[in-house]
Every structure is written in structure tokens, then in C-alpha cells.
Structure 1
Amino acid sequence: MKTMINFKKTVVAAMSFLMIGVSCNDEFLEVLPTGSLADAQVGTKDGIEGLLIGTYAALNGVFGNRFEGPNHWVTGSIMGGEANKGTDAGDYSTINPIQRYEADPTIGDFNSLWNGRFEGVSRANKVLAALAVATDVSAADAARIAGEARLLRGHFYFDLKKHFNSIPLFDETVLPADIPSIPNTPDVWGFIEADFQFAYDNLPAENGPGRVNKWAAGAYLAKAYLYQQKFGPAKDLFTTVIEQGVTSNGLPYDLLDDYAQIYNAENDNHAEAVMDVESANNTGSTANANYFDDLNYPYNTGPDGPGNCCGFFQPSMELANSFRTGADGLPLLDGSYNDPANEVDNIYRHVFTNDNDESTFVEDPDPLDPRIDHSIGRKGIPYLDWIEHPGSAWIRSFPYAGPYSPKKYIYYRSQENSFTDGSSWTRGYATMNYTIIRFADVLLMAAEAEVEAGSLDKALEYVNRVRARAANSEFWVQEYDGSGPAANYVISEYTSFPNQDFARRAVRFERKLELSGEGHRFFDLVRWGVAAEELNAYLDYESQYLVTKFGGASFTAGKNEYYPIPQTQIDIQGSDVLSQNPGY
């Protein structure tokens, strides 16, 4: 069992405590709506802390829809070309048009994402409204609580902004009855910045594991600057966070020596966790575990693999090829990793004919970045402490989704029933924390800001710091028999960034390699203004093998950069209040 503070686990008890206190007089006739709390109940420090816990609980979703999860495995990774939906065409078929960039406003998953994030906003607003009238909260506690609530609210709005662009905006002073008349607007960055700035100015550096702190606020504020191309302020603030930042439990920010330990539940609340979502098991509800990932395991593994379901979220062939390196150990920034003129342009070394016929398979002998086998389950390579990935036996449909399995945020055989919650329909409820922002992400965002500000040497330092960790051969994936590394891993640091264009490509590609499968890719491509170019090239490549899925699919510039405003919300509030995004 985990020992860290877990807000999801304690929220039910806290809210139940707040509900106590019914007097025996005629006031019992004045019944509050279900789920409501009287002002007196939330006007105390304990009551407000309970509301704050409920706001933390919204970080990984409220209504149980997988699109609400903080990892954005569909909207960030699949849509960013680094993964395919996986399984087969008939399973969770509403994702099929989404991954073809043919999303429809009536798809219910978008409405669930919208509802879940605005529920988080609402909960944060309730904390702030209660705090404004509280009588027993010290000034120090009030500043801390408000800082936590505003950082969480800023996160929910940031998430809405990067998905939908144009959203309704309201704070704790707006009456609930007035919210349905608030129109959507793309002009929300100033509000988000103000929330993050307040949190940065008012939160302590050490705030206890599981809670946000000053440095998480600083990293998120710098990220907001980066999204707006405010490279100077982003660079300065990232520098401060890198040099002075600590985790909420007081560890100086640093890269872990072992890349795999980022995704190990036994190592939660580590030095690389800038902001994460806590998880717990055996609490009476799998919603407290990583329910949003319950489909994202190799298919039909039986006792020899994790989850025993369901074959979703299969890394793309284009992503796998991206881990190729040259003999110098550097990435192939020219895109030649997909060049059919190579001896074999597909790392799997398998022609996708005759369904699951693997008779042509041979393990790839060419140089690879070692992070590939911490990120992608590949045939013949040890899959954590389970078995060597068997290939087709763990894949539902090669022709539909390709040959690979997800490997990040997967639990180990040794952790079954101790760091998993097996109380529901699948064993696949893992309980490692999901990291919304981690230190390698901060270093690479800082490198990006340095490049755009013209500081190429500093950008080189940050990128090489990330690559040096990956190059530590002590932590490469090893063969089970102890005979050495599981593949031909060749990686080195850059000797220089000769010009800004090269540096820009190197930093962006490093984000692709380092953060693959963590939900960032689509949003990176959009903010860089290259989504149409990159994703249409991805579709062209992947459709050579997965024609049943991607034949005829395309990314439409000016439309697909953002998701449609849910039609359900337009129907509720009226088209005179909410306007649909262009192209839908």
C-alpha cells in the first residue's frame, strides 16, 4: 500500500465530516440540494480544507470518462501521432473518427472532458468563495489555501484552453445562475497567468507530498508564457525554477538516474515530480486508481503480462522509428528514420501482410536510443519484470494498430495487488502517480525558450543534461539472462548547436523522444505551428501499413488544431452564447 498523503482517498471522509450537524427544529424543512453544504459548514478552516481536497480530487477526472484523465492519451498522444488507438476497429469505436481528424461535436467524450474540467474550476471557485467569508482561518493559511486553489483552477483552465481554445471564463465572484449566460472567448491567458502568479507569490516551497507548491506554480506560469511565445519571461522564470526549485516534500528538482523509475509506483513523489496526480488502491473505488489507463495494456496477456486487457494505446511505427540514431548516437533530425531507401524503414522488420505472420521478423540490429525500450513494448525485448514481449500474442490486430504495446505507467509483476487495485473487472488499475509536469519537461521547455531567445549554449546544456541521463548504460534495459543490453543502444550528447534552426529542431525532437506517450505531443505541434505538416506526414507513413485505419485521413489546418465545442453544451446554453470552433 502507498504511504503518501492521498487526496482522492480522503475526500469522501472529509466531505462526510462536513455534512454532519442537523439540528432538531423546524429548520430541517429547509432542505439543501443534494451535495450542497451550508455556509456554516464550509466557513471553517476544516470545511475549506475539505473543499480543497475535493478540488485536488478533480485532477484525474470526476465523472469516470477516460478523456478526463490527466495523461491525455487520446487528445495529446494519439492525436499527436505517437500512438494509435490500438485494439481493433470495433472496440471503443468513437475514437476512430477522432484519430482520423474527423471529430464530431456530438461525440460524448468531448463533453465529458469539458464537464470534468469545469467541475474542477467550480470546485476551486467554491474554495475561494468560502475562504472570502471564513472567520477562523489565519492569514498564512488563507494565502496558502488560496494559492493552491488558484493553481488548480489555472490548471483546469489551461487544459480547457489548449483543447478547445475558446471557453467561458468565470471566477468565484460570479453567481451560479449567471454562468450559463457567459459566452466563450479565446482571451483567457491573462486570467490563467494571474492565477499562476498568485500561487507563485503565495505558496510555500514545501507544502507536503501530494499538494502543489510555489515551484509547481512557477513552472506552470513559465509554461503559460511559452505557449504564448513570451520567450523572455519564460526563460527567466524557468531558470529560477531549475536553479532553486524543490518538490512539495523538499527534494531539490533533479533528473532521476534511472529513467524507468519515473513510472514506478514504488518511487512516487520523487525529485523529478514537479506537479503530479496522486493515486491509491483498495479505497472502495477504482476511480482513485489510474482508471483512465485501464485499457492501455498489452492485449490478452494472461498471467504472463499486466492487465490482461485490452490492447489500446499502441505506440505508432513512426514513433518507434524516431528512436533510431546514427553511428554518432544522435537522432536523425532530417527525418531519414522513415526513409524507405534504408535497408528496412520499419524498426519492426516485418511486412504487414497475412495478418499476424511474424515469420519475417528479426530483432533490429541498428543503433537505437535506449529510451525506446523504456517507452515501447517490442517483440523480443524484456517487458519490465514480466516476460519478453511475445509480439502477436499480445496484439489484437497487427493490420489495424501495428506491432507495439505501451510501456510507460505500467505496473510490474512484483507489484500485482500491492500497487494495483484488482477490485473491478480488470487487473489493470495501477496506482502510480501520473506526473503532469516533470523536471525533464521543464528542462526542455527552458531549452526551447533559450533557443528562441538566442541562447544556444544554454539550450545545449539543458538538452545534453536530459540525454546524459538516457546515456547511462547502467540503467538500460537488459536481457533477462544477464548477457547485456537488450538492443544496440547508441546515444551521445550534442557537441554543439551550430545555429538556431538546428537547435530548434534538436530541442523539439528531444521532447518527442523524452516525453513520448505522456500526452504532450499534439499540443506541442499545435503551438509550434507545424501540426498540419507533421501529422499529415505521419498519416502518409503509417497508412502504408495501417491502410484500414488511415487511408484517406488528413489533418485540416485552421480546424484540427482545436477540438470542437461539445454540441451538448451549445444546446444547453444556446448558440447565441457559445459559438462553435471554426470548421465544425
Structure 2
Amino acid sequence: MKRLHLFILGACSLLTACSKNFLDRAPLDRYSDDTYWTTEQDAVKFASRVYEFLPSADFFVCYEAMSDNAFSKTASWGNTLRNAQLIGNSTFVVTTGNLGDEWRYDQVRHCLEFLQKVDRVPDMNEALKKRLKAEVKVSLAYRYFIMAALFRDVPLVMQVFSTPAEADVPQDKKAAVIAQAIKWLDEAAPDLPASYTGDDKGRFTQGAAWGLKARILLYNGDNQGAAAEAKKVIDSKVYSLYPDYYNGFQLEGDYSAESIISYIHVKEVRQNGLRDIAGVNSVSGGTLYLNPLPSLVDDYESAAGYYPYTKDPAYDVHAPWKNRDPRLNATIYYPGSILANDKVYDPINNTLDKIGGDKATYTGYAFKKIFDKTDLEARDNGGNDWKILRYAEVLLTYAEAANEATGPSADINTALNDIRRRAHMPDVATTFALNGWTMNKETLRTFIRHERRIELAGEGHRYFDILRWRTGQQVLNGPIYTLDASAGLTDIPATGGKTNVYPKTKLEDRYFNSDKFYVWPIPQGILDQARKLQQQPEWK
């Protein structure tokens, strides 16, 4: 059972059933420097708050709707980043609300304050102090990486300011920001353990620093460096793929050897809202704000490895989701799927789940793997952790970076085959031969990018891949549609007044037709409070 204990003023006795672990924290909105930094416990609590700064499930899943993986009708969505639809269809502007959700200098300040003040703690264990500093540096690196990925040039703040005037600083170039993030990770890695036991499970490890560094380097074009850092994680032998792809995202997969960085959710006190955001109405009463798009569903290979899947001799237009890559069934609910409550998913006839209905799907699909399958009666009570960085991503990072740096190799195939073997899919060589593809850097690049989309679907990575690959004009421009069941489906009954037919229907148009959408504008509300910040040139 996962454990989490929140210290709340005047309410500790209400949580005595929860055991103590690394998310323990004191109320940090009000404390005195003269009295706070006096014990090791103070330092641990202050440092541990950085784990709350990590992207939670409810937050980061929204990025799926900004990509070609999903659609979100978010006009009335009260969730964080509720403007996912506007970003996804490129109709957002500098005054669009919540663009500043990732402009988080409050988190930066907290980290810098710890690094500045922790040395005041008397008689503190030096090894513990070094480890906590390293954890805070990983958090700083992550925060600056995300801000630079979205806003490009951002202020690189390295000190705690005492007045608003001091805090009014200009942007630094993205390269300088990324270089500092890498420096923090290099400093952190030697002071972090390979793994933890007991209540410390879930804290940043050495592999977390290496894996995050590999991601940052990959995203910023240092392929040789990214491959080297990913290889450190691989060669450490600390991490491995969870045997079952679907269950790796359920409660049983939390703290597994595949999980490198996760946001910890606990049903009793820190639930995730994925059952509402991605929940099927007939199962949990979810409102299903987030809907997988047909472009994602259609991208899964056939079970034999044919791509596109319609090339497979076994393809049946009346049962298009059968005989497909098993990760499709693990990731997506499609017509005829067996739901978590053992009923058949029918978005064509079922009143609760009918396409376009209240709290129902818009596309005909719903996400499955991120939905906590336990205690189905509560829609906002998910307890499964949000996987921020997992070993499969490290393998994909190694494959992509190594291919870009030096071209195809046996080591790349091994990394990809580990992922495909876990998914019960044919290996790389068999798949290339089956489809008549020639092995070279270009074809392997296409294959790796496809594998990355499929393996990481529903986890929020696709939008960032589109930005770094600069493929927005190709995949986020033009109309998007519902599923196409105009030929009729054999898995949905057509008797008793029911139909098994649904025509392909347009949902909206998307307008990623300019390079300016590769960078977010600085929100107008932030610019209005600063004299030295300058709007991105593309957005002036």
C-alpha cells in the first residue's frame, strides 16, 4: 500500500492512519527564518516539497489534447491548462488564460531558497544535506527545462530576490538556461543513490538525474550526449520494463523497476482526477474531457507488424481493431472493448457513452491505460501514479539519439526490441522485412518516431515531440474527425433498434500554419507586471 502523510496545522490527528514518508511537509506559507532552519527535519520537509512541483496526472495529461493524439472540448473545463483545446487547434493568443501555468518562478524560488539556507541547519548530517541539495537541483533542472521547451528564452534566476524591483529581470537565451539545467543534473547525480527502500521510495535517484539529462539533451539536439546519458541508465541495471504493459500503469505498477520519476497519487489524500478527465461515463460517471483521436488509433500496427495495419491480409473493415498491436487494446477503449466494469463499450448506442452525448466521447474512443480500474464508483478517486519518466522512454531516447548520431546499430535494435517484446510485437528486423523497408537512418528515424508515439501514448509527450521535431504544420493543421464506422461493425449489435454504423464526422479545424506556434507567447498578464521582459518576436 502506498503511503503519504501530510502535516496540516491542527489536523495531524486526522491522518494518524497514514505512515510517514518523503512527502511529509510543514505548512510553508508562513514561517520564521529565526526558528525554521534549526533541525534536519526542517530541511527534509522543505526539500521534500519539490515533489509537489512535479507534473501531476490531472495536469500533464492535458498535453495530449494539444497534440494529434487527442481532442478536448475544454470550454467549460475547470482543470489546470483548461485551454488545451485552444493550444491544440492553435487559436490561443497572448491573453489566453492559464498559459502561465508553466511559468512557475514560485517553484524556482522555493528551490533556490533551500540551497541558500540549508547550510544554516546546525549539526546536520552532511551526507543527507548533499542528497537533499541534489534532489532540489533535479527539481530546478526539470522546471527550467519545461519553461525553456515551451517559452524558449526565459529569465535564468539564480538567487532569491527580496523586492519586486530586483525580480524584474530580462530573458536569458534558451541555450544558457539548458546549460544550467544540465550543470545542476551533473552536480546532482553523484550525490544521489541508485535506489531507495521503505518510505524513501519515489525520491530522485541517480538514474533519474541521468534519465532527465538524456531527455533534455535529446530535446535540444545533442544526440551523442543524450545517447551516452541514456546508456548510463541502461547499463546501471537498476531499471527494467514491467512485464505487463497495461498493468504497469495501474496501482500494481507503482514503484516498479520501470518507474524512474513519478508523481505519487494516493486515493485517501492525494487522488488523481483521471477517472473524470478520461473516464468512461458508464463506468465511473466521468466527464471524458479527453478523447483519443482516430489518427492515433489508426497508427497502431497490425499484430503481425504490418504498417499501416490495413496492409495485413487479415484486416477486416468490419472489425478494424482486432489483430492489432496489443498496446492498442491496453491504451484505448474502442467500440467493442471490454470496460473496467466488464461491460462492452458501445459509443454508438449506449446513452451514457454515445458519441457527442453529455459527458460522453467526442471521437468514439477513450483512454484506458491511464484509468485506475479499482473502486469504479468514484470518478475523482484515482490512486495510480503518473509516470513522468519511465525506463521505456529511456530506451526510446537511446534509440533515437544513437540513430541520429551514428545511424542504425545492433544496440539500437536491442533497445527497440526490448520494448516490442514486452508488447508482444515482432522485432525490428522482422517488421522491416515484412513491410519491405530498407534499413537506413531515415527509415529507422521514422520507425522510432512511430514507436515512440505508440509506446508513450496518453502520457503527455507527443506535443513536446511535435515541437522539437517541428512537425506541427504536418500533424496539427487541418480538420480532425470522429471514428469512421460507416462500413458497420461486427462487435456492436445491430438488433433491437441499435445500429452498428457511424459516419466519419468533422469535429473541428486546426490551424498550426505558422512557425510562431512552436513557441508559447509570454502571457500578457506576466508582461504587464514586468518592464524588462520582452514578448517573443513571433507574437508581437
Q: Which category of TM-score, normalised to the shorter sequence, fits these structures?
A: 0.7 to 0.9
Is 1:111 aligned with 2:52?
no
State yes or no: 1:401 paired with 2:362.
yes
Aligned to 2:305, which of 329, 338, 346?
329
Counterpart of 1:296 in structure 2: which amino acid?
A: I
Match of 2:210 among 215, 218, 228: 218
Contact 1:564 1:581 in 2 (8 A): no
Shift of 1:216: 0.3
1:443 aligns with 2:395: yes
CA distance in 1, matches of 2:249, 2:9: 29
Aligned to 2:171: 184
* 1:561-581 per-position Cα deviation (integer Å, ceiling 9, x unaligned): 12221111111123x424246
Cα 1:171–1:236 shift into 2, 3 Å: same
Structure 2: state its 5+ residue gaps. Answer: 14-27, 433-437, 485-502
1:459 aligns with 2:447: no
Match of 1:494 in 2: 428
**Alignment partner of 1:320 is 2:320:** no
1:25 paired residue number: none
Of 494-503 and 221-230, more deviation after overlay is shown by: 494-503
**Which residue of structure 2 lines up, in the alignment, with residue 573 of structure 1?**
530
Structure 2 vs 1, CA of residues 538 and 131 (structure 1 numbering), >3 Å: closer, same or farther? farther
Q: Aligned match of 2:385 in 430, 433, 439?
A: 433
2:227 to 220, 229, 235: 235
| 1:11/1:50 contact within 8 Å kept | no
The aligned counterpart of 2:516 is 559
Question: Residue in 2 aligned with 1:415?
Answer: 375
The residue aligned with 2:435 is none
Matched, 1:279 2:265: yes
CA 1:501–1:173 in structure 2 vs 1: closer, same or farther (change >3 Å)? Answer: same
Aligned counterparts of 2:110 and 2:442: Cα–Cα separation in 1:
44
C-alpha separation between the residues in 2 aligned to 1:90 and 1:10? 31
Question: Which of 249, 264, 271 is 1:289 aligned to?
Answer: 271
Give 2:498's aligned residue.
none
Q: Which moved more, 1:183-192 or 1:139-148?
A: 183-192
Counterpart of 1:84?
Answer: 71
- What SS does the aligned partner of 1:436 have? strand
Equivalent pair of 1:216/1:275 in contact (CA under 8 Å): yes
Q: Distance in 2 between matches of 1:161 and 1:295?
A: 30
Deviations 1:450-504 (A, max 9, x none): 1012241221211111111111xxxxxxxxxxxxxxxxxxx41121671110111
Residue aligning to 1:270: 256
Spell out, residue by residue over 1:77-115, the C-alpha distance to the aligned partner (whole angstroms, 9 max, x if none).
Answer: 11221001058x66668444322111122222212332x
Separation in structure 2 between the aligned mates of residue 13 and residue 256 of structure 1, nearest angstrom: 39
Matches within 5 A, 1:349-364: 362-364=318-320
Once the two structures are superposed, residues 417-450 of structure 1 have per-residue CA deviations (whole angstroms, 9 ceiling, x without a partner) of: 8xxxx5xxxx223011111001111000100011
Q: Deviation per CA, 1:532-573, whole angstroms, max 9, x where unpaired? A: 2232267599999453422xx320332111222111111112
In 1, the alpha carbon distance for the partners of 2:66 and 2:474 equals 14
CA distance in 2, matches of 1:541, 1:300: 18
Contact 2:480 2:507 in 1 (8 A): no
SS at match of 1:121: helix
Residue type of the alignment partner of 2:40: K
Tell me the matched-pair count.
Answer: 488
> Is the Cα–Cα contact under 8 Å of residues 39 and 122 in structure 2 kept in the other structure?
yes
Describe the SS at the equivalent of 2:281. coil
Task: Please give the alpha-carbon distance, in whole angstroms, between the structure 2 residues aligned to 1:365 and 1:221.
Answer: 37
* Offset, 1:192: 0.7
User: In the TM superposition, what is the alpha-carbon distance from 1:381 to its structure 2 partner?
Assistant: 1.3
Shift of 1:206: 2.2
Task: Say if 1:296 and 1:406, in contact at 8 Å, map to a contact too.
Answer: no
Cα separation, partners in 2 of 1:386 and 1:410, compared to 1, 3 Å: farther
CA distance in 2, matches of 1:416, 1:179: 51
Q: 1:570 to 1:15 in 2, by over 3 A?
A: farther
| Deviation sequence 1:343-396 (CA, Å, 0-9, x none) | 9x9x9x6xxxxxxxxxxxx43266411111111111111123542212233145
One-letter amino acid of the structure 2 residue matched with residue 235 of structure 1: A
Cα offsets for 1:201-238 (capped at 9, x unmatched): 22111233121111100111111111121111211221
Q: How big is the shift at 1:186?
A: 3.5
Letter of the 1:300 counterpart: N
- Identity fraction in percent: 22
Separation in 1, partners of 2:159, 2:48:
17
Off by >6 Å, runs of 4+ in structure 1: 13-17, 540-544
Where 1:516 maps in the other structure, the secondary structure is coil
| 1:441–1:565 distance in 2 versus 1, CA, 3 Å | same
2:281 to 300, 321, 335: 300
| CA 565–43 in structure 1, closer or farther in 2 if over 3 Å, else same | farther
Q: 1:406 to 1:274 in 2, by over 3 A?
A: same
After superposition, the Cα gap between the structure-2 partners of 1:364 and 1:290, relative to the gap in structure 1 and judged at 3 Å, is same
Are positions 1:127 and 2:114 aligned together?
Answer: yes
**Helix, strand or coil for the counterpart of 2:388?**
strand
When the two chains are superposed, the root-mean-square deviation of aligned CA atoms in Å is 3.3
Contact 1:279 1:432 in 2 (8 A): yes
TM-score by length of 2: 0.82
User: Which residue does the alignment assign to 1:355?
Assistant: none
Matched, 1:48 2:43: yes
Corresponding letter in the other structure for 1:526: L
Mapped partners of 1:449, 1:98: distance in 2 = 28
Classify 1:49/1:268 alpha carbon distance in 2 versus 1 (closer, same or farther; 3 Å). same
In the alignment, residue 236 of structure 2 is paired with which amino acid?
Answer: Q
Q: Structure 1 residues 460 and 119, CA, compared in 2 at 3 Å: closer, same or farther?
A: same
Q: Distance in 2 between matches of 1:330 and 1:141?
A: 52
Q: Pick the aligned partner of 2:140 from 140, 153, 157.
A: 153
